[in-house]
Amino acid sequence: MNNNGIILYRSKYGAAKKYADWLKEATGFECMETKKADIQKVKEFDVIIFGGGIYASGIGGISFLKKNVQILKNKKIILFCVGASPFEEGAFQEICRHNLTEGLEKFPCFYCRGMWDEEAMSLKDRTLCKMLQKMIKKQDPSTYEPWQKALVNAAGQKCDWTDPKYLEPLLAYMRRENLIAVDI
């Protein structure tokens, strides 16, 4: 176990947790859900990786970092977010602009593709997604944003796009910053 860092995550449907577990394997850091995280314990670590699912453009669990940003100001913080949408630079920048606020702007953020399973969703989430899909379908398909296209295409299907390859840019960043050992 590497005691230098910790992986915090918020995952409603399992994808962000899967990425947190893969990161645990790659870094040796332990994982902790933001809901159970205690800032007194978290502040003992030098490196904090945070990951959360994207729900209606918001990154789940990020309020934990925002609430504690002053306490964590000298830490190496790395974020990742997990969405159903395929990666698209403009849409990702918009997610970052919308979520990395209140002191989080300076930290790097990465994107991983998650899962989609309407059967597994809570009634509230399923209803919200169906409403979104209905609204999107009223638009001209040529104007769809990548996340809108993904939401419409995924309707009624069970999809799992999780893949450790999405963590490569984050791990490369950590190697460059000497936060983990470089593989030989």
Ligand X SMILES: Cc1cc2nc3c(=O)[nH]c(=O)nc-3n(C[C@H](O)[C@H](O)[C@H](O)COP(=O)(O)O)c2cc1C
Q: Are strands 58-59 and 109-113 parallel, antiparallel or unpaired?
A: unpaired
Binding positions for ligand X, 104-163, rule CB under 6 A: 114-116, 121, 125, 128-129, 147
Phi first, then psi: give them for residue 70, nearest 5 degrees: -65, -45
Instruction: Please give the angle made by the CA atoms of 175, 181 and 183, to the nearest 5 degrees.
Output: 90
Which of 8, 84, 104, 179 contacts ligand X by CB under 6 A? 84
Residue 13 is a binding residue for ligand X (CB under 6 A): yes
Closest CA to 161 of 112, 114, 111, 120: 114
- Write down the least CB distance from residue 42 to ligand X, Å: 20
User: DSSP of 94-132, one letter per residue?
Assistant: HHHHHHS-TT-TTS-EEEEE-EEEGGGS-HHHHHHHHHH
What the block records as the tokens of 27 is 């870094």
Beta carbon nearer to ligand X, 61 or 179? 61
User: By CB under 6 A, how many residues form the interface with ligand X?
Assistant: 23
Site string for ligand X, 29-58 (x = CB under 6 A): ------------------------xxxxx-
Which of 14, 28, 164, 169 contacts ligand X by CB under 6 A? 14
Residue ranges that bind ligand X, judged by CB under 6 A: 11-16, 53-57, 82-85, 114-116, 121, 125, 128-129, 147
